[in-house]
Amino acid sequence: MKLDYNNHNGQIDDLIEALIAMSGTAHNQELIREMIITALRAGADKLDRGDLKIINSGMKELRYSFKLFSEYSERRKVSIFGSARIHHDDAAYQSAREFARRMVEEGFMVITGAGGGIMQAGNEGAGKDNSFGVNITLPFEQGANEWINNDSKLINFKYFFSRKILFVKEAEAIVMFPGGFGTHDEAFESLTLIQTGKSVVVPVIFIDPLGNNHWQGLEDYMREHLYRAGLISEDDMHLYRVTNSIDDAISEIISFYSRFHSYRFVKDRIVIRMNSALRSEQVAYLNQDFRDIVASGSIEQYQSTEAEYGEDATCGMPRLAFHFDRRSYGRLRLLIDMINGFH
């Protein structure tokens, strides 16, 4: 039977509905339906075989990865980036290993690219039980390092684009050690996604344990050639930190989640979940200092209910909610810092 999506009589829809029912899928059936239709349309469009292979591989890689990470959804995670060319006896390697070890002590798991250098240091410091390896298959490098190889939390990707999604989507913090093109690519990708609201605001930290201005030089460039040229705003400069100290980096991450827990958008309002409530005068101060990012109304604090949000880990947490302008994410980061700084 030839499938005609422009002039069909509902028979295709009936077959899809029957297929979904036979599969036993109970949740999000409308999204499953759309994915099936998209796959069928890709065939009807007579796409190039290479294009279809990209769609197929990307979808399979993401499905498997999301399923794996969902088993560890209750644990916060930090993505660690850095060069594969840094040797075991290098100070940067030792710092990355120590950073990962201490983040595990703080309850975090570690995500790396599974290769050598800084990636290996991250997996070594965290240990297999607390590590993910998000590996990319390349013709010249890289096999998975010994600290994550053959572990169930090692994922091998064919394409960079699907691999990148995991690094940002699953991380509550992103840390850059010295690295080359790939590390800089991930750094700017992470900042761009946060700046545009395509990813949530999380700590993004550049660590230069050698003190050789590897990252400070990049920040100087951005300030001189991006900020002063008007290509980024002053607020954008608050989306990251540069430090030589892993102590400062760890403190930055832990402090970020001291009172602040997470946020989500509900229709046209941002809802910020907190581990403890603010006093009324503190909410009033937020309204005064951050009125520039409130599109309408004011910042309000309230207590959630189970009926409102269902049974999950955030049920019962106090909330702040307001009509966010959806563009001032550097200012949103400062608001989160202020929430955490209140005593």
Whether 7 and 44 have beta carbons less than 8 Å apart is answered as no
Q: Which residue has the tokens 């960079």?
A: 160
- pLDDT (tens digit per residue) in 264-302: 999 889 999 999 999 999 999 999 999 999 999 999 999
- State if pTM tops 0.85: yes
* Angle subtended by helix axes 329-341 and 181-195, to nearest 10: 80
- pLDDT (tens digit per residue) in 176-187: 999 999 999 999
Q: Which long-range contacts (CB under 8 A, 24 or more apart) does 307-313 make?
A: 313/74
Rounded to an integer, what distance in angstroms lies between the CA atom of residue 123 and that of residue 156? 15
Round to the nearest angstrom and report the end-to-end CA distance of the chain: 68
CA-nearest of 257, 262, 337, 332 to 304 is 262
Q: Work out whether strand 260-266 and strand 154-157 pair parallel, antiparallel, or are unpaired.
A: unpaired
Residue 123 CB: number of other CB atoms within 10 A?
A: 33
Residue 4 banded pLDDT, cuts 50, 70, 90: low
Q: Stretch 307-319: mean pLDDT, rounded?
A: 73
CA-nearest of 156, 117, 108 to 133 is 156
Rounded to an integer, what distance in angstroms lies between the CA atom of residue 134 and that of residue 196? 25
For residue 165, pLDDT beyond 90: yes
Whether 239 and 189 have beta carbons less than 8 Å apart is answered as no
How many Cα atoms within 13 Å fall on the side-chain side of residue 140?
A: 1
CA-nearest of 185, 179, 178, 187 to 160 is 185
Residue 308 CB: number of other CB atoms within 10 A?
A: 12
- pLDDT (tens digit per residue) in 87-108: 999 999 999 999 999 999 999 9
Q: What is residue 63's three-state secondary structure?
A: helix
For 213, left (φ over 0), alpha (ψ -120 to 50), or beta?
left
For residue 1, pLDDT beyond 50: no
**pLDDT given for residue 308 in this prediction:** 55
